Structure 1
């Protein structure tokens, strides 16, 4: 009995398939034309040579650029489907293990790439804007005044995906297209198909540094500053450098316990914490360092050179001083270029 039912269903299915074929043969397909004799909208990126620190963590952005195209108008005979994405990248190239989304592995170990694009709005690296391998968009093109308007805005980034090797990235792999049905209306491309990656071998000796601070009395402030309250343990140390590298460093507001006036590190607001004081960081010449500003430690290293950047800390009076403990955190970054 079941066999008979299956056979009957098969016959009905055949009839439905024949009807479906007839319907498909008469369906309208959009024919799209770019107006005003303009070419397709194009975004062009020009990545420079990439110099990557040996201790760069996965998710570190080592290059970022934004570009916009001119505006084009596209006329279509029917509602057009959007097709877009990389034309030579597979879903298996995506680095799902990377802290950043939408990163695809290049041919150079440790180097990934991602891009985002939108029509008219500012692109972000969120799911809807990220460029993916070739696919059909779920939304049809929105028609305005009898035609479609397209202005491509794009962003591109190189991202660390693991231990980095030197080499030549074939960036041409990440060319992308934007189509309305069968008509290419937008491109994402590059000024050169190859980008050089140089791997530096400077080594940051300590990534986390604890700096003990001496106790002082409220009466010890002169012109709102104290004496130096740190010792020679407050330093940044780099060793095993390549020849010809420039070493820069900075302290950043991001990741700190807060910064006032660009150079006063706020102390943590904790129970029993002191009040009315902050901390200033000085270089070896007693110059106060500004947060988010880069300073050069060495203009050109020799092969295998070790570099020490001595630093100092002092208290800064920000208001009425009340005794208590002092804890603060600051993030520093070291660049080898």
Structure 2
């Protein structure tokens, strides 16, 4: 028996009313049976960085300082066969316009077109990436998130629920978002402010009887939205304070104090103090480089500087045991504690060393002290 029947089908907050001449015809129509729904949205995720990030002073540009990921939810939305799900994004409502770099490669997430946006801390950039997660699409590749403020929903990926799928099997669609802080230039310690507003994701559902040929015909424009917020973090530099050291080697009568080549004056003990060292450093190394010529690398002997008037002598650098100190190479600071930080010191000794016939005069040498933090 034929009769007119008006029914209502609810699909993710949008009511689609269809007037069908036959109830039986409605039940057999595959396009009309597309049924999509929100499963676990809405949700609000915080992309939380560590509260404190200590950066080595000599860290290279492009170094990833911290990474925060959202859960890789695969079923925010689900759809039955013969329908298309399209994932959309609307970017952070606080403008991310200023950039350190555009279209750079970020190996940490295999993102080759990332934009490095400026944060509130000079030298610290923000990179944002997104990928779709679903049963019919799998883990899609990472894509960049545009940083400019926008109220327009931009498509970033989709998922077809094919007619060949089982009738009662729903196809899921979800997303994963990543945020990274990246060193980009000289860092000034400070607090990375949270990005105000949120990155919003939603799903649009529509008919797709033929993949790649039939235009997307939405029957529900607004899926429940998922939001992501970027948190705050304090950034500091891993370092120690190292004041200059002046060592007085005294005045000596050349013929008496240095009677022959290879003789030396009594050594003078001194130390290089390291103050206010950061905690959490894996290793602290130091290197001593003379600014004048090295006369004997194995013996730790360097020549006098250009303004000295004496000749025939050099300055020999020794460790605290009296052995010749290594020059131009990094050496671990054994007194540094990663747990406590604070102060440490490097005990050393120095003395004059005769290298040739001695001519009286001033005898000075300068050496550079370099710290390396890892």
Do Structure 1 and Structure 2 share a fold, with TM-score over 0.5?
no
Q: Which has the larger radius of gyration?
A: 2
The two structures have a TM-score, normalised by structure 1, of 0.42
Please give the TM-score of this superposition, normalised by the length of structure 2: 0.38
Q: Which has the higher strand share?
A: 2
Normalized per residue, which structure has more helix?
1
